[in-house]
């Protein structure tokens, strides 16, 4: 299930980038943002793309939807920071 939820998030990310490139609103933007937050909350972060894409998707949707709540923003930062720390090696690399 994790791969399919992240796969859906990746497809939504590509759609959002396409819409942004052509100055169009993203269809279902609120639903996409909610699904992205659910994915970050519930799925295991597998790699750096998994870490970056949901954050960038939320950023791409912000002009259309406005900023996320402070609570959701704080949670996204906390979870993303914890996920990023999992990839850090003692020498700073992976």
How crowded is residue 54: how many other Cβ atoms within 10 Å of its Cβ? 27
For residues 67-91, average pLDDT: 89
**Could you give the 3-state DSSP secondary structure of residue 67?**
coil
**Among 71, 76, 5, which residue's Cα sits nearest to residue 43?**
5
pLDDT of the residue at 1: 42
User: pTM to 2 decimals?
Assistant: 0.81
pLDDT in tens, 30-74: 999 999 999 899 988 888 778 888 889 999 999 999 999 999 999
| Chain centroid offset of residue 9 CA | 7
Helix (H) / strand (E) element for 80: namely helix 70-87
């Amino acid at each position: 299930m994790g791969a399919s939820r992240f796969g859906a998030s990746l497809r939504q990310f590509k759609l959002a980038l396409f819409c942004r490139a052509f100055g169009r609103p993203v269809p279902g933007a609120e639903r996409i943002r909610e699904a992205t937050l659910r994915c970050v909350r519930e799925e295991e972060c597998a790699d750096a793309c998994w870490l970056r894409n949901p954050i960038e998707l939320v950023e791409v949707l912000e002009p259309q939807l406005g900023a996320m709540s402070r609570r959701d923003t704080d949670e996204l930062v906390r979870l993303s920071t914890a996920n990023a720390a999992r990839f850090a090696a003692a020498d700073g690399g992976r």
